[in-house]
Structure 1
Amino acid sequence: MPINCKNCPLRRHELFATMSSDDVAFMQDMKQGEQHVAPGTVVFSQGDKPDHLYTVLEGKGLRHKTLPDGRRQVVNFVMPGDFIGLQAGVMGEMRHAVEATTAMTLCIFNRSDLWKVFQNNPSRAYDLTYLAAIEEHLLGDALSRMGQHGARERVAWSLHRLYRRDVAIGAVAGDGSISLPFRQQDLADALGLSLVHTNKTLAQLKAENVARWERRRLFVHQPETLAQIGLVEQLQPETRPLM
């Protein structure tokens, strides 16, 4: 059975901003159900004009863009709590694709209801704007790092960000690892690095006992050192809206 929004397991984590009871009821009225997708499923294709938008309840994926010559550029990683499809909701079509890299559970919303949010619920409309600002910030941060930082700093920054996100939602296994169900090539693409350079950097971090990525799991042995290497600017807990 679909989870009622008031019982959403993501809401109990401090990563996500507190919602009023009215906002929770509003989202429950908008929610059309849940969709379960298998690893490798293309949730959105580039150029799609989808009828639905989604909140990721469980699972992880990739945002990527196909270039005119057929090459693929990873834009970002999709994590639990992310709201996907907003681009199509506002611009009419998806300018990038979203692909599941694990099994995913998605909360379904009708794209046509997006305008009701702005018409009837200003606080939720502000939350949507805030989420768009977060994505803009992350892309700007990633672009500045690709332009100004070396491979070691870029890889450490990305691993630290992904690690912190899972820690914030309690998705840490008993051995201290988190799920990192991507390929090294995906990380290399996202950071503007060659696969060889990425592999060497990961091997160096492992040799220094800072972090190791193996068998789709990331072990961070020294989070503070990883943050220092990645030149992470702030470590205070992040808070973001949950749609």
Structure 2
Amino acid sequence: MKKFNVYKSNNKFVERIFLASAIILFATYFFSKANSTFLCFSIIFLSLTLLSWLRNCFLRNRLFKEFIDSIELFDNSKILDLGSGNGDVIIRLASRLTMFSNVSIFAVEDIYQTDNDFMYNALNNRVRYRIELSHKDIRKLDYDEESFDIITASNNENSLLNSHKKSDYKSICKEINRLLKPGGIAYIFNNKYTSKKMANEFINQDNKVFFYDYKFQPLYGVKIFSVEKKNSE
């Protein structure tokens, strides 16, 4: 990767709360000359800010790198990324391709996503020309049935992939199954609860499901699994 917002956190709200709390407590200690309790708590909140930033900026990037490196790419493949957000998954995947690769890549930001860093990251990594980006409801897409060899889906901020609603994750699983070619593989990155529910949906569709065991997964409360669509008989 070249420039990919490596040091940008995906949990800015929590970190800002920690940092604001640390500043307020330190100011209270400094101006009121109160006991050292305020200073201790300000140091604790500052430490939490730094730990959260390290978790989201460094460990998360390592986890994504291991995840993406495990995906096997083939010539003439068609790839679809759902809930693209800032492009963490699909831009890293596109960056693995050679200049003359004939792999086709489609990325879909779902209807609730507001992250606008995709274009910036794609341009910085010189892969914008490889990716067809659109903004659609990932529960019901207009692509033809059995169109894609590989589908990736990551629960970026505000994505429907984060939804715990049964109707949402069932619709997404149904759509992924519809769009995958027989023998095609989907790679899903999601929270523990939704990953388990989605995996059960795919199993009920007679697909093969495999859970990965990467380092740092417990730090995020996430599960990464793959789904191999059953070949037509």
Identify whether the pair has TM-score above 0.5, normalized to the shorter chain. Answer: no
Q: Whose radius of gyration is greater, 1 or 2?
A: 2
Flag the structure with more relative contact order, 1 or 2, with Cα contacts below 8 A and sequence separation at least 6: 1
